[in-house]
Structure 1
Amino acid sequence: MTRYLLTRLWQSAVTLVIGSIVVFWGVRQLPGDPALALAGEEATPERVAAIRADLGLDDSLLVQYGRFVGNFVRGDFGESTRTGTPVTELIGATLPVTLWLALYAIIVAVVVGVALGVVAERYRGRWPEWMANAAALVGLSVPNFWLGILAILWLAAGLGLFPASGYVPVAENPASAFYHLTLPALILGTSLAAVIMRQTRASMIETMKTDYVRTARAKGLGRGRVLMRYGLRNSMIVVVTIVGLQLGGLISGAVVTERIFALPGFGKLTLDSVFTRDYPVIQAVVLIITVGYIVINLAVDVLYSVINPRIRVGGAS
């Protein structure tokens, strides 16, 4: 296991270096000139040139990349070219909002998805399975922005069950914070819950066909007990894989949900930075998401052997 961990850490480091190069190069392929966007359309060429010099945009790409990597290693992302605020402060103020939203959405998606998957397998060929499949189909087919608008109209404005917008920091008032995040988390976790439901059902169906399940049934164990003891545990491997792959996607894909519910999160910061060609903020945001993907996938690989001891990765035996 130690050998495997060292190998995965090395692969993660290489992936991070490649990702930093892609982020650095990709940001500079965005149309428009950040110096011109900062100076204004009516600025003189001298003013634009002075801003470019201050931002270091006149240096070669190799020099700019070296400065970018050096600052990142020190935890210094520079200052926003739009507001002059340190990027670390902007990230510190917005990232927790998106992380809490994504974590809440993951919990909702896992609970709902696994529950529907168990019901669909337990009552195969009967109306509970049809209802679960219909719910999953709706979750996969209907866009989140449309569900968000409907939720605001019906559940927030119509019935008054949830606030239509706004955010309360978790540290200030946890109950109020999660109350404000409930509706966005439900909307954000809908499609993920549908995927988890379908995969859980398929995994449990395959598990229930195995020899050791038939042996357990032959020894007198009831179907429900076998389903929960063997089928659900094996299906958790699939759930962990999906959650690991989708958590980073939820963080980066919460842009629409945050816009709809007016949440001051990572998504809003990203959009504002792209519109104003704010290179330091864009680089920091994308690189943090990249690091998140790498760390989450590493954690998922390690969790495999914890959930199912039969799984042995290469070099761990």
Structure 2
Amino acid sequence: MARYLATRAWQSLLTLVLAAVVVFLGIRALPGDPALALAGEDRSPEALAAIRSEYGLDQSLPVQFWQYVTRMVRGDLGTSIRTGEPVSEMLRTALPVTLELSLLAIVIATLLGVLAGVVAAVRRGRPEEWVANGLALVGLSVPHFWLGLVAILYLAVATNLFPASGFVPLAEDPVANLHHLVLPSVILGTGLAAVIMRQTRSSMLDALSADYVRTAEAKGLRPRVVVTRHALRNSLIVVVTIVGLQLGALISGAVVTEQIFTLPGFGKLTIDAVFQRDYPVIQAVVLVTATSYIVINFAVDLLYSVIDPRVRVAGEAA
């Protein structure tokens, strides 16, 4: 087990280093001169030279990269060109909003998707499966922005069941925080729930036709035990993979939902930084996104070894 964890940790660290290199070079490859954007109307050679010197843009790429890495190791992600605030403070404010939104969406999508997938597999060819497949098709087909606008119109404006916009920090008022995030979390999780449902159904159908399930049924175990302890557990590998990958995607891709519900999260910070060519913020946003994918994939690898011992044994033998 220790060797398996050490191998995955080393691979994750190497991926993080490569991601930092790609982020640094990718930002520098963007067209245009950031000094011109920062200078505003005063674009004299003296002003441009002062700006390049202040932000290190007059240094060579290796020197800039070394300064970037050393500051990043110390936790210094730079200062926003747009606002003058430390980037780490901006991330500390925006990231918890998106993390909470994404985690709620993942929980809702997993509960709905797994339950619907199990029902559709167990009740194959019956009305329950048709309903589950129909809802999954709707969840995959309807765009989030349209569904979010409709939800605001009918559930916030018309009936006043949920707030139409805004955010309350969890530490300030947990009830109000949940009240503001339930609706956007459900909207964000609809598409993911549909994907989880379809994959769970497919994996459950394969498991239910396997020899070990037929053996369990022949031994006289109750159907509920056969489904939950045998078929479902062996189907969770696919579910864990999807949830892990989609959590990283939600953290970086909740832009539309955050804009519709006016949430001060990662998405708004990213859009503002891109439009105003705020290099330090863009670097930090992309690096945090890449890091989240790496950490989540490492966690998924650990869950693999817990759910299926064959993965752990294969990792030890490698």
Same-fold call, TM cutoff 0.5: yes
Q: Which AA in structure 2 matches 1:100? A: E
What CA distance in whole angstroms lies between the structure 2 residues aligned with 1:241 and 1:72?
A: 30
Q: Which moved more, 1:85-94 or 1:134-143?
A: 134-143
Residues 198-277 of structure 1: matches in 2 within 5 Å? 198-277=198-277
Q: CA deviation at 1:315?
A: 4.1
On the 8 A contact 1:117/1:200 being kept in 2, the answer is yes
Q: CA deviation at 1:245?
A: 0.9
Q: Which residue of 2 aligns with 1:34?
A: 34
What CA distance in whole angstroms lies between the structure 1 residues aligned with 2:137 and 2:80?
A: 42
What CA distance in whole angstroms lies between the structure 2 residues aligned with 1:142 and 1:29?
A: 36
Q: Which residue of 2 aligns with 1:6?
A: 6
Q: CA deviation at 1:115?
A: 1.0
1:81 aligns with 2:81: yes
Q: Which residue of 1 aligns with 2:163?
A: 163
Q: Which residue of 2 aligns with 1:18?
A: 18
Helix, strand or coil for the counterpart of 1:69?
A: helix
Residues 127-206 of structure 1: matches in 2 within 5 Å? 127-206=127-206
What CA distance in whole angstroms lies between the structure 1 residues aligned with 2:230 and 2:141?
A: 31
What CA distance in whole angstroms lies between the structure 1 residues aligned with 2:108 and 2:21?
A: 35
RMSD across aligned C-alpha pairs, in angstroms?
1.4
1:303 aligns with 2:310: no
- Deviation per CA, 1:257-286: give whole Å up to 9, x if none: 111110000111111011111111111111
What CA distance in whole angstroms lies between the structure 1 residues aligned with 2:183 and 2:138?
A: 17
Q: Which AA in structure 1 matches 2:85? A: T
Q: CA deviation at 1:39?
A: 2.0
Q: CA deviation at 1:178?
A: 0.9
Q: Which residue of 2 aligns with 1:289?
A: 289
What CA distance in whole angstroms lies between the structure 2 residues aligned with 1:91 and 1:4?
A: 33
On the 8 A contact 1:27/1:279 being kept in 2, the answer is yes
What CA distance in whole angstroms lies between the structure 2 residues aligned with 1:112 and 1:13?
A: 34
Q: CA deviation at 1:34?
A: 2.1
Helix, strand or coil for the counterpart of 1:5?
A: helix
What CA distance in whole angstroms lies between the structure 2 residues aligned with 1:230 and 1:303?
A: 17
What CA distance in whole angstroms lies between the structure 2 residues aligned with 1:153 and 1:225?
A: 44
What CA distance in whole angstroms lies between the structure 1 residues aligned with 2:282 and 2:101?
A: 21
Q: CA deviation at 1:313?
A: 4.6
Unmatched 5+ residue regions in structure 2? none
On the 8 A contact 1:33/1:277 being kept in 2, the answer is no
On the 8 A contact 1:34/1:277 being kept in 2, the answer is yes
Helix, strand or coil for the counterpart of 2:176?
A: helix
What CA distance in whole angstroms lies between the structure 2 residues aligned with 1:101 and 1:313?
A: 36
On the 8 A contact 1:32/1:277 being kept in 2, the answer is no
What CA distance in whole angstroms lies between the structure 1 residues aligned with 2:163 and 2:17?
A: 42
What CA distance in whole angstroms lies between the structure 1 residues aligned with 2:126 and 2:241?
A: 29
On the 8 A contact 1:255/1:266 being kept in 2, the answer is yes
Q: CA deviation at 1:60?
A: 0.9
Helix, strand or coil for the counterpart of 1:311?
A: helix
1:122 aligns with 2:122: yes
What CA distance in whole angstroms lies between the structure 2 residues aligned with 1:151 and 1:88?
A: 34
What CA distance in whole angstroms lies between the structure 2 residues aligned with 1:146 and 1:235?
A: 33
On the 8 A contact 2:4/2:312 being kept in 1, the answer is no
What CA distance in whole angstroms lies between the structure 2 residues aligned with 1:168 and 1:67?
A: 37
| Paired-residue identity, % | 65
Q: Which residue of 2 aligns with 1:50?
A: 50
What CA distance in whole angstroms lies between the structure 1 residues aligned with 2:30 and 2:165?
A: 31
Helix, strand or coil for the counterpart of 2:162?
A: coil
- Deviation per CA, 1:227-256: give whole Å up to 9, x if none: 122122122221111111111110000111
Q: CA deviation at 1:171?
A: 0.6
Structure 1 segments (4+ residues) deviating >4 Å? none
What CA distance in whole angstroms lies between the structure 2 residues aligned with 1:150 and 1:247?
A: 25
Q: Which residue of 1 aligns with 2:66?
A: 66
On the 8 A contact 1:34/1:276 being kept in 2, the answer is no
Q: CA deviation at 1:289?
A: 1.2
Q: CA deviation at 1:153?
A: 1.3
Q: Which AA in structure 1 matches 2:82? A: R
Q: Which AA in structure 2 matches 1:257? A: T
On the 8 A contact 1:94/1:264 being kept in 2, the answer is yes
What CA distance in whole angstroms lies between the structure 1 residues aligned with 2:189 and 2:42?
A: 45
- Deviation per CA, 1:173-194: give whole Å up to 9, x if none: 1111011001110111111111
Unmatched 5+ residue regions in structure 1? none
- TM-score for the superposition, normalised by structure 1: 0.96
- Deviation per CA, 1:267-313: give whole Å up to 9, x if none: 11111011111111111111111111111111111111212234335
Q: Which AA in structure 2 matches 1:237? A: I
Q: Which AA in structure 2 matches 1:70? A: T
Q: Which AA in structure 1 matches 2:316? A: A
